[in-house]
């Protein structure tokens, strides 16, 4: 049985609304159009060895006074447990795009982008939601780049206590970000064009944070949240996925959390309600495809055993 280790600095850098201001692979923040410039110049050995000259002058590694160098190991490959969850999620994403149908969802049939009076009704609702910003701002800001910590707090887990569950959650986030970006750029007919942000149409919404650098429909946060809730429902105890209201299948702790994250983006004026509805549909429909990925099929029983 393969084991799981702690992930490196990139783990936990889940995307904001599908990858806003994506964190770097080493966990550092990378702002759009900027990159840190660090060019220290030190002393390097000569590229060409001169007759009678050692490669390095002075101290060596291993130390020169050892009778023999350290022995080589018999490692045959990079160990599975040593992959960071972030990088392994990209491996799983490569598996996901091989599953037929990932790019064939008809979002507009399920959550059409309204025009005319329907569009104005959405903008009016967003104006009313502005009254609630002060109450949700701290929470919504915390959810910009790190929504998975809310799921981790639901039944208390982390990458040390439940490494397979954590790895599964990172895969869900990467796939959801990919899905959201694909459909944001290709929303499909009849709308056809990437949807403008609500504040482009109604400047008085004045979002309290920078508007993400990609189109509005579908909501990336909603896609991530519902896909994450869907895959974790396969492994977490029934308490996380049992409806609290018999007539409402969405009244589970996992799905209520997804609903809350998506709604917070509307309160900030970043998404229309129809964006959230489309993201919910996309996330829900992607769960079944994600389960067909070999890496996910391997992880699910291990993650399940972490809880049972």
User: What integer pLDDT is reported at residue 72 of this predicted model?
Assistant: 84
Over residues 79-89, mean pLDDT: 93
pTM above 0.85, yes or no: no
Structure tokens at 80: 């599975």
Q: What is the pLDDT of residues 206-221, one digit of tens each?
A: 999 999 999 999 999 9
Computed over its alpha carbons, how large is the radius of gyration of the chain? 24
Mean pLDDT to the nearest integer, 18-39: 48
| Average pLDDT rounded to a whole number, residues 188-198 | 91
Tokens of 128: 């009313």
CATH 1.20.144.10 fits 88-307, yes or no: yes
Each residue's pLDDT tens digit, 177-190: 999 999 999 998 88
Q: Specify which residues 29 forms β-bridges with.
A: 23
Strand partners, 20: 16
Closest CA to 255 of 284, 278, 275: 284
- What are the pLDDT digits (tens) for 125-177? 999 999 999 999 999 999 998 899 999 999 999 999 999 999 999 999 999 99
pLDDT of residue 62: 62
For position 45, what pLDDT does the model report?
57
| pLDDT classification of 64: cutoffs 50, 70, 90 | low
- Alpha-carbon torsion angle 233, 234, 239, 245, nearest 10: 60
Contacts of 252 (CB under 8 A, 6+ apart): 229, 233, 240, 241, 242, 243, 244
Residue 66 confidence class, pLDDT cut points 50, 70, 90: low
Compute the distance between CA of residue 12 and CA of residue 8 in angstroms, rounded to an integer: 9
The dihedral sign for the CA sequence 225, 230, 231, 232: positive
C-beta of residue 286 within 8 angstroms of C-beta of residue 102? yes
Q: Of residues 251 and 56, which shows the higher confidence score?
A: 251
Cα 9 from Cα 28, distance rounded (Å): 8
Mean pLDDT, the chain, whole residue set: 86
pLDDT at position 14, please? 44
| Amino acid 48: pLDDT | 55
- Number of C-beta neighbours around residue 242 at 10 A: 12
């Amino acid at each position: 049985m393969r084991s799981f280790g702690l992930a490196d600095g990139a783990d936990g850098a889940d995307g904001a609304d599908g990858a806003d201001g994506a964190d770097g692979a080493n966990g550092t923040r990378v702002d759009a159009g900027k990159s840190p410039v660090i060019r220290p110049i030190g002393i390097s050995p000569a590229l060409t060895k001169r007759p009678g000259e050692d490669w390095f002058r002075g101290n060596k590694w291993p130390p020169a006074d050892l009778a023999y160098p350290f022995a080589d190991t018999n490692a045959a490959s990079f160990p599975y447990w040593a992959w960071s969850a972030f990088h392994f999620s990209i491996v799983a994403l490569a598996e996901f795009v091989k599953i037929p149908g990932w790019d064939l969802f008809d979002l507009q049939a399920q959550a059409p982008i309204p025009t005319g009076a329907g569009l104005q009704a959405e903008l009016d609702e967003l104006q009313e939601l502005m009254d609630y910003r002060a109450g949700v701002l701290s929470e919504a800001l915390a959810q910009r780049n790190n929504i998975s910590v809310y799921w981790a707090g639901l039944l208390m887990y982390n990458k040390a206590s439940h490494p397979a569950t954590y790895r599964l959650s990172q895969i869900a986030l990467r796939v959801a970000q990919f899905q959201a970006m694909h459909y944001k750029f290709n929303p499909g007919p009849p709308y056809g064009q990437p949807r403008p942000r609500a504040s482009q149409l109604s400047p008085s919404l004045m979002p309290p944070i920078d508007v993400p650098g990609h189109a509005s429909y579908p909501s990336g946060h909603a896609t991530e949240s519902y896909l994450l809730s869907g895959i974790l429902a396969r492994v977490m105890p029934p308490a996380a996925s049992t409806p609290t209201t018999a007539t409402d299948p969405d009244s589970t702790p996992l799905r209520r959390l997804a609903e809350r994250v998506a709604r917070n983006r509307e309160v900030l004026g970043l998404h229309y309600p129809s964006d959230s509805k489309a993201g919910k549909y996309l996330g829900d429909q992607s769960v079944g495809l994600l389960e067909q990925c070999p890496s996910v099929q391997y992880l699910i029983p291990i993650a399940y055993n972490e809880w049972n």
